[in-house]
Structure 1
Amino acid sequence: MKNKLKLTFLSIITLIIPAITFAQETVEVVEKTLSDKINEVFTPIVEVMAQVVFWKPFKYFVDESSPLANIPVVVLWLVIGAVFFTIYNKFINIKGFKHALELIRGDYDDPNDKGEVSHFQALVTALSGTVGLGNIAGVAVAVTVGGAGATFWMILAGLLGMSTKFVECTLGVKYRNIDENGTVSGGPMYYLSKGLKKQGKGTLGSVLAIFFAVLCIGGSFGGGNMFQANQAFAQLTSLEELSFLSEYGAWFGVILAILVGIVIIGGIKSIANVTDKIVPLMVGIYVLSALTIIILNIGNIGEAFSEIFSGAFSPDAAKGGIIGVLIVGFQRAAFSNEAGVGSASIAHAATKTNEPVSEGIVALLEPFIDTVVVCTMTALVLIFTGYAHEPQGLVGAELTSAAFEHALGGWSRYILAFAAVLFAFSTMISWSYYGIKAWTYLFGSSKAADYSYKALFLGFIVVGASSTLGAVMDFSDMMILGMAFPNILGLYFFAGEIKADLNDYFARIKSGAIKKFK
């Protein structure tokens, strides 16, 4: 009997090993073929989109060597919008900061308000979609290209972006839909279509809403999904001890898809319950590590900020003097905090509140945390460790990782790798929510629409983790940035309406008509 069992066991092992080997070889062939095919399809699309999103309007009026010639229209569009809404709303980014903290604490939470999540949960859900690899890799790119002075302009762009977030998230709540089951749908698709129709511009609103929804779906599959899975796997396999996993991208993708699927199947409440734990954890890990390095170099903090300030206004600064450094800093900040893109308003629309302005004020904290705090800390680490001046041929996340390792030792590599996986995971679950809301806006709210989107989203995780998708990554970046065009154009039409709502809200706060519940 024992011999029979032994033979049976050996037979199974004999069958399993070749099967696993064959499966792995098949996966590798499929991965390569799939990558090639996808890149072939997307390359011409990317080339056309790049001519629109990254069109450089000043190149026709200035010399090609001038930094102005390299300003992409999307960055100009985001920055002009941020400056306009900051001035028009009398610096709400500063005026509303203290009240935003009161709202986050729950001081004004009314348990009878309609919605699905708290102010804090909406904030961390939106933050989980922005705080991520851009804070690790994007800052390194800015400092490498533009020098320490780029940090100053990143901070300024983050402060200005707070005003744009306020406007779009206020509108997200004001024009949201709440069905008979209490499920909320909101975001640019709704305030563009409903709000502009109210102003007698229904056709324009519908066109902008559909355009935004299409771009949002593309962005959710690419930058909010495949890119995150791809970079999470790359961060893990960059660790020497885990380098052997580099051939198992598809299996990593399957495991990640299962974990994401468990979370997103429950909708915004399930997503918020996860993000309100993951986001403080991942930001805490990263900030604590950076803060440790800053404290160890506290004696040089004055010199570092002096370098940042002087570098921002130095005619001899890297990458074309003052204008060049300004462009680099503003560009990286705009790409990092997504102020003006409109995605965050989809999450904030689900907040339990009957005061749209209150949620807009909460939302203005996002660019502050994402850009002013986290990105600045990354820049200081690069300056203190010397990698801002001598990158030693390293770029992006590799440069930031090397700086942390130099200051804290080899163990910091594991901290960064863990944080990167958490960043990617949280970004994916947030963007799945953005994508499903855009999807159901176009195709209707039904179980079939819901499951079809989620199945596609989870499938793209496996593709992203296991493929080299250069063209589709570029495509997804442009889809996300492209969302800013219909969104900000629509925001201008609501400028007067939002200003009136803001003045009315603070007047009621002052008179006591809006009371604290704690």
Structure 2
Amino acid sequence: MSRFRSLAPWAAAMAALMAASSARAEGMDQAISDIVGPIVNPIVSTIFYSVPVAGTQFPLIVGWLIIAAVIFTLYFGFVQFRLFGHAIRLVKGDYTDPKDEGEVSHFQALATALSGTVGLGNIAGVAVAVSLGGPGATFWMILAGLLGMASKFCECTLGVKYRNVNADGSISGGPMYYLSKGFAENGKAGLGKILAIFFAICAIGGSIGGGNMFQANQSYQQAVNVTGGDASFLVGYGWLFGLVMAAIVGMVIIGGIKSIARVTEKLVPMMAVIYVIAALIILGFNFSAIPAAFGAIIEGAFAPVAVGGGIVGVLIQGFKRAAFSNEAGIGSAAIAHSAVKTSQPATEGIVALLEPFIDTVVICTMTALVIVITGAYQVEGLGGVQLTSYAFETAFPWFPYVLALAVLMFAFSTMLSWSYYGLKAWTYLFGESKGSEIVYKLIFLAFVVIGSSMSLGPVIDFSDAMIFAMSIANIIGLYYLMPVVKRELAQYMAKLKSGEIAPVDKEAKRQNA
């Protein structure tokens, strides 16, 4: 007993230290909000400027992305449906030539880009859409995902077309390069350079905030929730959690895109499979309710009196969530896809069109179906991650632990991808050198710790705005350069038809290896 009494002062001191640490963090949060808020709030309001449509606020930036997706779908002749099967063959490596320039395979490039989009948007974002727009929002979310496949095709084809192959064999590509080089080809070098610099600045801001601090913060919060909430031993130790996370992230990103790709090609399929299997088990338990769920989705999509402002309101919720989830038209994925081993730019555009399908049409739809079938969206007071967690808990009481693991994995993979996006934007502005790369990576890792330690509300809002601001410059470039993409696609399809490009003899390939 005396031994435990001797520990009491130590325990009290630790409790006081933790309380003081938490108070300091809250005070620092407020101080940062007071300083940053007045500066960033007008920028955030401008980027996410909304207009009332049928009683619902519609962000114009979402319209900018969706209209572009419709135009690209029509211009490229519904390429996302025509070449879907060929995309799968490319990912399998059926047309891969190891002699081609590049750093990663088609599958690794796809996994790296997917790791940047598959995340909290698939878990929390879908719940928000269904809770605000009803089951019908799922229909419009799927449609937006299908349309966004054409945007990914366009931007990733350009990413490979205009990439730089550095002296050491590494690749630098993405909107910064096709904006500057593509416009220069047509005598508009000045405009292209301005758009490229604007994009690069926004990409760095997005990588530090939404692709880093927000992910670290949500990971820490989820870890706290599953280890006791307010009584968790992690309370007040966000900085320590951030240091551990930064060390793990650092071990991967120091190795560059090849190291990132080696991790994401294993991590992305694993985390997607875990999440989808859990959803399929619930759907299996409730198999008889699936037809009714699809009926509610279709009926809700076109019901004259629907949740959230009628048909238009439901459409807006679905389109908004799809745009926030798969980032089609943002331009970020083109940076990862540019590093692929290929001599045909169109091949990577074709591979990239699978991203919105996997992210939005498959994973987001799975989440929505579980929420609709379990009726969780009708429970008042639940939203975001809590709503999704509640829906899965109806079948698995232990699911919050699986969800916590999924959030950690999603956040980790997102940080890996966005570290690369930000790095390439950084080196575009400050030059390709080892010193420049090290400076950026150290900054990125420092913000992992900061993100875990603070809420940083206005900073996160600003970084989200930066990510969507990337689409302003990117889509202007896509409109201007889409004839280039059309020519690349026509040339590639002609080579396929003539037999100049043929499937690789895998047996011969294995023997050569």
CA distances 1:453-493 after superposition (whole Å, capped 9, x unpaired): 11111111111111121111111111111111000011000
Report the 3-state secondary structure (helix = DSSP H, G, I; strand = E; otherwise coil) of the residue aligned with 1:70.
strand
* Residue of structure 2 equivalent to 1:394: 382
Indicate which of 29, 37, 41 corresponds to 1:47: 41
Alignment of 1:34 onto 2:28:
yes
Indicate which of 224, 234, 253 corresponds to 2:242: 253
* Residue of structure 1 equivalent to 2:349: 360
Which one is further off, 34-43 or 72-81? 34-43
* Residue of structure 2 equivalent to 1:7: none
CA distances 1:248-291 after superposition (whole Å, capped 9, x unpaired): 11110110000000000000000001001110111111111011
8 Å Cα contact 2:157-2:345 kept in structure 1: yes
Aligned partners of 1:119, 1:177: CA distance in 2, in Å?
Answer: 18
8 Å Cα contact 1:297-1:384 kept in structure 2: yes
Aligned partners of 2:110, 2:191: CA distance in 1, in Å?
Answer: 30
Aligned partners of 1:449, 1:99: CA distance in 2, in Å?
Answer: 39
* Residue of structure 2 equivalent to 1:486: 473
Alignment of 1:283 onto 2:272:
yes
Alignment of 1:326 onto 2:315:
yes
8 Å Cα contact 2:41-2:458 kept in structure 1: no
Alignment of 1:455 onto 2:442:
yes
**Cα offset for 1:32?**
3.1
8 Å Cα contact 1:164-1:340 kept in structure 2: yes
Aligned partners of 1:476, 1:234: CA distance in 2, in Å?
Answer: 19
**Cα offset for 1:46?**
2.9
8 Å Cα contact 2:260-2:417 kept in structure 1: yes
**Cα offset for 1:319?**
0.6
8 Å Cα contact 1:144-1:391 kept in structure 2: no
TM-score with structure 2 length normalisation?
0.94
Which one is further off, 47-56 or 307-316? 47-56
Alignment of 1:84 onto 2:71:
yes
* Residue of structure 2 equivalent to 1:9: none
Amino acid at match of 1:236: A
* Residue of structure 2 equivalent to 1:3: none
CA separation of 1:153 and 1:28: change in aligned 2, threshold 3 A: same
Aligned length: 497
8 Å Cα contact 1:209-1:486 kept in structure 2: yes
Aligned partners of 2:369, 2:356: CA distance in 1, in Å?
Answer: 18
8 Å Cα contact 1:42-1:475 kept in structure 2: no
Aligned partners of 1:189, 1:348: CA distance in 2, in Å?
Answer: 14
**Cα offset for 1:298?**
1.2
* Residue of structure 1 equivalent to 2:510: none
CA separation of 1:441 and 1:21: change in aligned 2, threshold 3 A: farther
**Cα offset for 1:449?**
1.3
Alignment of 1:407 onto 2:395:
yes
8 Å Cα contact 1:27-1:250 kept in structure 2: no
* Residue of structure 2 equivalent to 1:110: 97
* Residue of structure 2 equivalent to 1:145: 132
Amino acid at match of 2:462: F
Aligned partners of 1:209, 1:215: CA distance in 2, in Å?
Answer: 10
8 Å Cα contact 1:117-1:352 kept in structure 2: yes
Q: How does 1:60-209 map to 2 (within 5 A)?
A: 66-67=54-55, 70-209=57-196
Amino acid at match of 1:80: I
**Cα offset for 1:45?**
2.8
Alignment of 1:338 onto 2:319:
no
Indicate which of 254, 259, 271 corresponds to 1:265: 254
**Cα offset for 1:244?**
3.0
Aligned partners of 1:406, 1:44: CA distance in 2, in Å?
Answer: 43
**Cα offset for 1:233?**
1.1
**Cα offset for 1:515?**
1.3
Alignment of 1:295 onto 2:274:
no
8 Å Cα contact 2:155-2:478 kept in structure 1: yes
Amino acid at match of 1:404: F
**Cα offset for 1:296?**
1.1
**Cα offset for 1:504?**
1.6
**Cα offset for 1:512?**
0.6
CA separation of 1:207 and 1:380: change in aligned 2, threshold 3 A: same
Which one is further off, 356-365 or 469-478? 469-478
Aligned partners of 1:349, 1:23: CA distance in 2, in Å?
Answer: 49
Amino acid at match of 1:51: S
Amino acid at match of 1:137: A
CA distances 1:75-101 after superposition (whole Å, capped 9, x unpaired): 010001000000000000101100000
Amino acid at match of 2:260: I
Which one is further off, 426-435 or 506-515? 506-515
Q: How does 1:363-512 map to 2 (within 5 A)?
A: 363-388=352-377, 390-408=378-396, 410-512=397-499
Amino acid at match of 1:148: P
Aligned partners of 1:85, 1:260: CA distance in 2, in Å?
Answer: 36
Amino acid at match of 1:506: M
Which one is further off, 195-204 or 232-241? 232-241
**Cα offset for 1:29?**
5.3
Aligned partners of 1:259, 1:201: CA distance in 2, in Å?
Answer: 43
Aligned partners of 1:361, 1:378: CA distance in 2, in Å?
Answer: 26
8 Å Cα contact 2:423-2:441 kept in structure 1: yes
CA distances 1:156-203 after superposition (whole Å, capped 9, x unpaired): 000000000000000001100011110100000000001110111101
Identity of aligned residues (%): 57
Aligned partners of 2:165, 2:20: CA distance in 1, in Å?
Answer: 47
**After TM superposition, what 4+ stretches of structure 1 lie above 6 angstroms from structure 2?**
16-23
Aligned partners of 1:159, 1:435: CA distance in 2, in Å?
Answer: 27
Aligned partners of 1:254, 1:291: CA distance in 2, in Å?
Answer: 36
8 Å Cα contact 1:385-1:407 kept in structure 2: no
8 Å Cα contact 2:163-2:173 kept in structure 1: yes
8 Å Cα contact 2:220-2:238 kept in structure 1: yes
**Cα offset for 1:52?**
1.8
**Cα offset for 1:21?**
7.8
Report the 3-state secondary structure (helix = DSSP H, G, I; strand = E; otherwise coil) of the residue aligned with 2:424.
helix
Report the 3-state secondary structure (helix = DSSP H, G, I; strand = E; otherwise coil) of the residue aligned with 2:233.
helix
Aligned partners of 1:501, 1:460: CA distance in 2, in Å?
Answer: 40
TM-score with structure 1 length normalisation?
0.93
**Cα offset for 1:384?**
1.1
